[in-house]
Amino acid sequence: MMHLSRRPLWVSLVLAACFSNAEAFIAPGPSASAVLGSTGARAATALSERTQNAATLAMVAKGEYGETRTQVITDIDDTVKSSGGVRLLWKVGPALGGIDTQYKRGAFYPGVFQFGAELASDGLPPNMEPAPMAVLTARARELKLFLALKPTTKLCVAYNDAAKRLHAESGVGAPGWGIDCENTVLYGSVAEWILQFRKGWRKYT
């Protein structure tokens, strides 16, 4: 497989126009952009997009990529972060989200954000953005004005940071991936705080 960054830009452009086999060459990466300099930046970008699209179509045709995205849904307490096992009414009331006391309350579990980003991106063509992460939360929808998840919430920022790292390191996924705070946050209700057994039914639904 030939790498475009090792030959003059005009040669690469000629090869791109002549080769019918998309797998015969690959798009220039960050190192290639540095070699080409500012004069070849626009041509390199266009070539990169054209090559990537052609290679993606070839791989789809061979069955190496699926045609659908995976919607990843996750709980938060004792799944993404530790609840600390905090309970109401002097430790005899209902748990505030979970029962894990191994980690400090609010501590994120190691690797959980990268795992979510990789799971959502698995099997996707390079030019297809993964479906946003969906989360289940016990926060009551009636109190969204005060409790709504926002792009600046630590949880949302952490998922986006993981996506940026994954994309920068391996080209997988999309740097803007994360939780869609307007559409993929599944809230609970006040009723479930009163009738705790209803939480399980809501999450199942």
pLDDT at 159 over 60: yes
178 versus 124: the higher-pLDDT residue is 178
Provide the 10 A C-beta neighbour count for residue 2: 11
pLDDT digits 0-9 by tens, 107-132: 999 999 999 999 999 988 877 899 99
Residue ranges per structural domain of the chain:
2-61, 73-204
Phi-psi region of 173 (alpha: psi -120 to 50; beta: other; left: phi over 0): left
pLDDT of residue 80: 94
What are the pLDDT digits (tens) for 31-47?
Answer: 333 333 433 444 444 45
pLDDT of residue 179: 97
pTM: 0.63
70-107: pLDDT as tens digits: 899 999 988 999 988 777 666 666 666 677 888 998 99
Q: Which two tokens stand for residue 28?
A: 């220039």
Distance CA 25, CA 1 (A): 6
